[in-house]
Protein backbone atom coordinates (compact mmCIF):
# COMPACT_ATOMS: atom_id res chain seq x y z
CA UNK A 1 0.00 0.00 0.00
CA UNK A 2 1.29 3.48 -0.87
CA UNK A 3 2.42 5.97 1.79
CA UNK A 4 0.52 9.21 2.35
CA UNK A 5 0.90 12.36 4.46
CA UNK A 6 -2.37 14.23 3.90
CA UNK A 7 -4.77 11.30 3.65
CA UNK A 8 -5.11 7.97 5.41
CA UNK A 9 -5.99 4.78 3.55
CA UNK A 10 -7.34 1.54 5.02
CA UNK A 11 -8.74 -1.58 3.37
CA UNK A 12 -11.39 -3.71 5.03
CA UNK A 13 -13.30 -6.60 3.43
CA UNK A 14 -13.93 -5.02 0.05
CA UNK A 15 -14.07 -1.44 1.35
CA UNK A 16 -11.39 1.20 0.67
CA UNK A 17 -11.53 3.85 3.40
CA UNK A 18 -10.06 7.18 2.26
CA UNK A 19 -9.77 9.69 5.10
CA UNK A 20 -8.87 13.33 4.45
CA UNK A 21 -6.35 13.90 7.22
CA UNK A 22 -5.75 17.62 7.76
CA UNK A 23 -8.14 18.31 10.66
CA UNK A 24 -6.11 21.34 11.79
CA UNK A 25 -7.15 23.09 8.54
CA UNK A 26 -10.66 21.57 8.42
CA UNK A 27 -9.32 19.19 5.77
CA UNK A 28 -8.85 22.03 3.27
CA UNK A 29 -8.13 20.78 -0.23
CA UNK A 30 -4.70 22.17 -1.07
CA UNK A 31 -2.57 20.91 -3.96
CA UNK A 32 -0.79 18.29 -1.85
CA UNK A 33 -4.08 16.91 -0.52
CA UNK A 34 -5.63 16.73 -3.99
CA UNK A 35 -2.56 14.95 -5.36
CA UNK A 36 -2.79 12.30 -2.65
CA UNK A 37 -6.54 11.87 -3.12
CA UNK A 38 -5.90 11.15 -6.80
CA UNK A 39 -3.09 8.74 -5.92
CA UNK A 40 -5.40 6.90 -3.51
CA UNK A 41 -8.23 6.77 -6.05
CA UNK A 42 -5.83 5.29 -8.61
CA UNK A 43 -4.79 2.69 -6.03
CA UNK A 44 -8.41 1.75 -5.32
CA UNK A 45 -9.25 1.56 -9.02
CA UNK A 46 -6.57 -1.07 -9.64
CA UNK A 47 -7.49 -3.23 -6.64
CA UNK A 48 -9.90 -5.96 -7.78
CA UNK A 49 -10.74 -6.84 -4.18
CA UNK A 50 -12.31 -3.42 -3.63
CA UNK A 51 -15.97 -2.76 -4.50
CA UNK A 52 -16.68 0.34 -2.41
CA UNK A 53 -14.65 3.49 -1.72
CA UNK A 54 -15.73 5.52 1.32
CA UNK A 55 -14.42 9.08 1.60
CA UNK A 56 -14.54 10.83 4.97
CA UNK A 57 -12.90 13.69 6.84
CA UNK A 58 -10.75 13.24 9.94
CA UNK A 59 -12.28 14.63 13.11
CA UNK A 60 -15.83 15.59 13.97
CA UNK A 61 -15.98 19.09 12.49
CA UNK A 62 -15.20 18.88 8.80
CA UNK A 63 -15.50 16.65 5.75
CA UNK A 64 -13.58 19.14 3.61
CA UNK A 65 -13.80 22.90 4.03
CA UNK A 66 -13.00 23.60 0.40
CA UNK A 67 -10.02 24.75 -1.62
CA UNK A 68 -7.01 26.46 -0.08
CA UNK A 69 -7.94 30.14 -0.56
CA UNK A 70 -4.32 31.32 -0.43
CA UNK A 71 -3.44 29.06 -3.37
CA UNK A 72 -6.63 30.10 -5.17
CA UNK A 73 -5.81 33.81 -4.81
CA UNK A 74 -2.78 33.61 -7.11
CA UNK A 75 -4.37 31.59 -9.91
CA UNK A 76 -4.48 33.15 -13.39
CA UNK A 77 -7.37 32.90 -15.92
CA UNK A 78 -5.74 30.19 -18.04
CA UNK A 79 -5.13 28.06 -14.94
CA UNK A 80 -8.90 27.74 -14.56
CA UNK A 81 -8.92 25.75 -17.81
CA UNK A 82 -6.58 23.08 -16.43
CA UNK A 83 -8.62 19.99 -15.39
CA UNK A 84 -7.23 20.09 -11.83
CA UNK A 85 -9.85 19.55 -9.15
CA UNK A 86 -12.64 19.16 -11.71
CA UNK A 87 -10.68 16.45 -13.51
CA UNK A 88 -10.09 14.61 -10.23
CA UNK A 89 -13.78 14.73 -9.33
CA UNK A 90 -14.70 13.48 -12.80
CA UNK A 91 -12.36 10.55 -12.17
CA UNK A 92 -14.08 9.83 -8.85
CA UNK A 93 -17.52 9.99 -10.48
CA UNK A 94 -16.50 7.51 -13.19
CA UNK A 95 -14.53 5.23 -10.85
CA UNK A 96 -15.15 1.52 -11.39
CA UNK A 97 -16.18 1.18 -7.73
CA UNK A 98 -19.18 2.50 -5.83
CA UNK A 99 -18.30 5.64 -3.86
CA UNK A 100 -19.79 6.94 -0.61
CA UNK A 101 -19.12 10.32 1.04
CA UNK A 102 -19.58 10.65 4.81
CA UNK A 103 -20.36 14.29 5.56
CA UNK A 104 -19.66 14.88 9.24
CA UNK A 105 -19.35 18.68 9.30
CA UNK A 106 -18.21 21.37 6.90
CA UNK A 107 -18.50 20.41 3.23
CA UNK A 108 -18.06 23.74 1.50
CA UNK A 109 -17.00 24.69 -2.01
CA UNK A 110 -14.61 22.03 -3.25
CA UNK A 111 -15.58 19.85 -0.28
CA UNK A 112 -19.24 19.93 -1.29
CA UNK A 113 -18.22 19.25 -4.88
CA UNK A 114 -16.16 16.25 -3.75
CA UNK A 115 -19.17 14.82 -1.91
CA UNK A 116 -21.38 15.37 -4.98
CA UNK A 117 -18.89 13.50 -7.16
CA UNK A 118 -19.57 10.40 -5.05
CA UNK A 119 -22.44 8.06 -5.86
CA UNK A 120 -23.98 8.18 -2.40
CA UNK A 121 -23.84 10.79 0.38
CA UNK A 122 -24.53 10.15 4.06
CA UNK A 123 -24.81 13.29 6.20
CA UNK A 124 -24.89 13.89 9.94
CA UNK A 125 -27.26 16.51 11.35
CA UNK A 126 -24.39 18.87 12.19
CA UNK A 127 -23.15 18.89 8.58
CA UNK A 128 -22.75 22.32 7.01
CA UNK A 129 -23.04 21.97 3.24
CA UNK A 130 -22.83 24.73 0.67
CA UNK A 131 -21.22 26.39 -2.33
CA UNK A 132 -20.14 29.84 -1.06
CA UNK A 133 -17.78 30.66 -3.95
CA UNK A 134 -19.72 33.76 -5.03
CA UNK A 135 -18.69 35.37 -1.72
CA UNK A 136 -15.13 35.31 -3.10
CA UNK A 137 -16.07 36.78 -6.46
CA UNK A 138 -15.78 33.42 -8.23
CA UNK A 139 -18.12 30.54 -9.09
CA UNK A 140 -18.03 26.82 -8.26
CA UNK A 141 -15.44 25.39 -10.64
CA UNK A 142 -15.06 21.72 -9.77
CA UNK A 143 -18.39 20.54 -11.11
CA UNK A 144 -20.58 22.32 -8.56
CA UNK A 145 -22.82 24.21 -10.98
CA UNK A 146 -23.55 21.06 -12.95
CA UNK A 147 -23.70 18.29 -10.35
CA UNK A 148 -25.80 20.26 -7.88
CA UNK A 149 -28.37 21.09 -10.57
CA UNK A 150 -28.51 17.44 -11.61
CA UNK A 151 -28.88 16.19 -8.05
CA UNK A 152 -31.40 18.66 -6.58
CA UNK A 153 -32.76 20.47 -9.64
CA UNK A 154 -31.92 23.80 -11.26
CA UNK A 155 -34.09 25.98 -9.02
CA UNK A 156 -32.72 24.67 -5.74
CA UNK A 157 -29.17 24.66 -7.11
CA UNK A 158 -29.42 28.32 -8.13
CA UNK A 159 -30.75 29.19 -4.67
CA UNK A 160 -27.82 27.41 -3.01
CA UNK A 161 -25.22 28.93 -5.35
CA UNK A 162 -26.50 32.51 -5.63
CA UNK A 163 -27.21 32.98 -1.91
CA UNK A 164 -24.24 30.93 -0.74
CA UNK A 165 -26.34 29.51 2.07
CA UNK A 166 -25.32 26.48 4.11
CA UNK A 167 -27.70 23.66 4.98
CA UNK A 168 -27.47 20.94 7.60
CA UNK A 169 -27.62 17.19 7.06
CA UNK A 170 -31.35 16.89 7.66
CA UNK A 171 -32.16 19.56 5.07
CA UNK A 172 -29.68 17.98 2.66
CA UNK A 173 -31.57 14.70 2.91
CA UNK A 174 -34.92 16.45 2.50
CA UNK A 175 -33.94 18.07 -0.80
CA UNK A 176 -32.08 15.01 -2.08
CA UNK A 177 -28.53 16.29 -1.72
CA UNK A 178 -27.88 13.55 0.84
CA UNK A 179 -29.17 10.01 0.34
CA UNK A 180 -29.08 9.10 4.03
CA UNK A 181 -29.20 11.07 7.29
CA UNK A 182 -27.90 10.22 10.76
CA UNK A 183 -28.42 12.21 13.92
CA UNK A 184 -24.89 11.93 15.32
CA UNK A 185 -21.45 11.99 13.69
CA UNK A 186 -20.61 8.79 15.53
CA UNK A 187 -23.38 7.01 13.59
CA UNK A 188 -21.86 7.73 10.16
CA UNK A 189 -19.48 4.77 10.10
CA UNK A 190 -22.16 2.28 11.06
CA UNK A 191 -24.58 3.63 8.46
CA UNK A 192 -21.83 3.55 5.83
CA UNK A 193 -21.11 -0.10 6.60
CA UNK A 194 -24.80 -0.97 6.24
CA UNK A 195 -25.02 0.74 2.84
CA UNK A 196 -21.66 -0.64 1.69
CA UNK A 197 -22.67 -4.11 2.87
CA UNK A 198 -25.58 -4.11 0.43
CA UNK A 199 -23.30 -3.07 -2.43
CA UNK A 200 -20.65 -5.65 -1.55
CA UNK A 201 -23.15 -8.41 -2.36
CA UNK A 202 -23.39 -7.22 -5.96
CA UNK A 203 -21.25 -8.21 -8.94
CA UNK A 204 -18.33 -5.80 -9.56
CA UNK A 205 -18.81 -5.75 -13.34
CA UNK A 206 -22.50 -4.94 -12.85
CA UNK A 207 -21.60 -2.14 -10.41
CA UNK A 208 -19.25 -0.56 -12.92
CA UNK A 209 -21.62 -0.81 -15.88
CA UNK A 210 -24.66 0.37 -13.91
CA UNK A 211 -22.72 3.48 -12.87
CA UNK A 212 -21.58 4.09 -16.42
CA UNK A 213 -25.11 3.73 -17.81
CA UNK A 214 -26.50 6.23 -15.32
CA UNK A 215 -23.73 8.83 -15.59
CA UNK A 216 -23.16 8.67 -19.34
CA UNK A 217 -26.81 8.15 -20.20
CA UNK A 218 -27.98 11.15 -18.19
CA UNK A 219 -26.78 13.67 -20.78
CA UNK A 220 -27.97 11.70 -23.81
CA UNK A 221 -31.39 11.80 -25.43
CA UNK A 222 -33.66 9.05 -24.11
CA UNK A 223 -33.37 6.81 -27.17
CA UNK A 224 -29.57 6.90 -27.20
CA UNK A 225 -29.45 6.39 -23.44
CA UNK A 226 -31.70 3.33 -23.74
CA UNK A 227 -29.37 1.95 -26.40
CA UNK A 228 -26.42 2.50 -24.06
CA UNK A 229 -28.29 0.55 -21.39
CA UNK A 230 -28.92 -2.31 -23.85
CA UNK A 231 -25.24 -2.45 -24.81
CA UNK A 232 -24.24 -2.48 -21.14
CA UNK A 233 -26.73 -5.27 -20.48
CA UNK A 234 -25.30 -7.25 -23.40
CA UNK A 235 -21.81 -6.91 -21.94
CA UNK A 236 -23.01 -8.13 -18.55
CA UNK A 237 -24.79 -11.09 -20.16
CA UNK A 238 -21.43 -12.29 -21.47
CA UNK A 239 -19.77 -12.43 -18.04
CA UNK A 240 -19.15 -15.33 -15.69
CA UNK A 241 -20.63 -13.19 -12.91
CA UNK A 242 -23.99 -13.18 -14.72
CA UNK A 243 -23.92 -16.97 -14.91
CA UNK A 244 -22.95 -17.21 -11.24
CA UNK A 245 -25.58 -14.71 -10.10
CA UNK A 246 -28.47 -16.37 -11.91
CA UNK A 247 -27.27 -19.86 -10.95
CA UNK A 248 -27.01 -18.86 -7.29
CA UNK A 249 -30.54 -17.46 -7.37
CA UNK A 250 -31.91 -20.69 -8.85
CA UNK A 251 -29.96 -22.78 -6.33
CA UNK A 252 -31.05 -20.50 -3.46
CA UNK A 253 -27.52 -19.69 -2.28
CA UNK A 254 -25.25 -16.67 -1.98
CA UNK A 255 -23.52 -15.68 -5.22
CA UNK A 256 -19.72 -15.75 -5.31
CA UNK A 257 -18.82 -13.14 -7.91
CA UNK A 258 -15.33 -13.25 -9.46
CA UNK A 259 -15.22 -9.95 -11.41
CA UNK A 260 -15.19 -11.87 -14.70
- Buried b or exposed e, range 85-101, using 16+ CB within 10 angstroms: bbebbebbbebbbbbbb
In the β-sheet with 120-124, what is the strand arrangement from edge to edge? 7-12, 15-20, 52-57, 98-103, 120-124, 180-182
Pure H helices in 51-117? 69-73, 84-93, 110-117
Question: Given this model, what pLDDT does residue 78 score?
Answer: 46
CA distance 33 to 250: 48
Question: Given this model, what pLDDT does residue 68 score?
Answer: 66
Could you say which of 3.40.50.1110, 3.40.50.720, 3.90.226.10, 3.30.565.10 is the CATH number of the domain covering 7-200? 3.90.226.10
Helices (runs of H) and strands (runs of E) counted in the chain: 11, 9
12-37 confidence digits (pLDDT tens): 999 999 999 998 889 999 989 999 99
* Pair 47, 16: CB distance under 8 Å: yes
59-80 confidence digits (pLDDT tens): 989 999 876 666 665 665 545 5
104 pLDDT tier (thresholds 50, 70, 90): very high
* CATH architecture, domain 204-251: Orthogonal Bundle (1.10)
What integer best gives the mean pLDDT of the chain? 91
User: What's the rounded mean pLDDT across residues 221-244?
Assistant: 90
253 pLDDT tier (thresholds 50, 70, 90): confident
81 pLDDT tier (thresholds 50, 70, 90): very low
256 pLDDT tier (thresholds 50, 70, 90): confident
The two most distant CA atoms of the chain are separated, in Å, by 63
CA distance 143 to 114: 9
Half-sphere exposure of 186 (CA within 13 A, CB side): 0
What is the β-pairing status of strands 120-124 and 62-64?
Answer: unpaired
Q: Residue 112 pLDDT > 80, yes or no?
A: yes
Question: Given this model, what pLDDT does residue 244 score?
Answer: 78
pLDDT exceeding 90 applies to what percent of the chain? 73
Q: How many CB atoms lie within 10 A of CB 244?
A: 16
Q: Residue 250 pLDDT > 50, yes or no?
A: yes
User: What's the rounded mean pLDDT across residues 178-195?
Assistant: 97
Question: Given this model, what pLDDT does residue 77 score?
Answer: 55
Question: Given this model, what pLDDT does residue 259 score?
Answer: 75
* Pair 127, 107: CB distance under 8 Å: yes
260 pLDDT tier (thresholds 50, 70, 90): confident
205: alpha, beta or left? (left if phi > 0; alpha if psi -120 to 50): alpha
Question: Given this model, what pLDDT does residue 228 score?
Answer: 92
Q: Residue 96 pLDDT > 80, yes or no?
A: yes
**Where along the chain do its domains lie?**
7-200, 204-251
Q: 198 or 70, which is more confident?
A: 198
Helix 110-117, helix 144-152: angle, nearest 10: 50
Enzyme catalytic residues:
113, 133
What is the β-pairing status of strands 15-20 and 52-57?
Answer: parallel
Helix 222-237, helix 204-218: angle, nearest 10: 170
Amino acid sequence: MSQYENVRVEKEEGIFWLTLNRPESRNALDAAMLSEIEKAIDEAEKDEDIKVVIIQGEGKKSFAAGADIKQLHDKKPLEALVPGMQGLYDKIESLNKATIALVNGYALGGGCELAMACDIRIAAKQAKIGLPELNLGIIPGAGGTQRMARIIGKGRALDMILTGKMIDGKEAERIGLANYFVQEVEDLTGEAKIVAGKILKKGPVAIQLAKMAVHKGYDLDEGTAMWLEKISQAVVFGTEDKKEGTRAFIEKRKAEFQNK
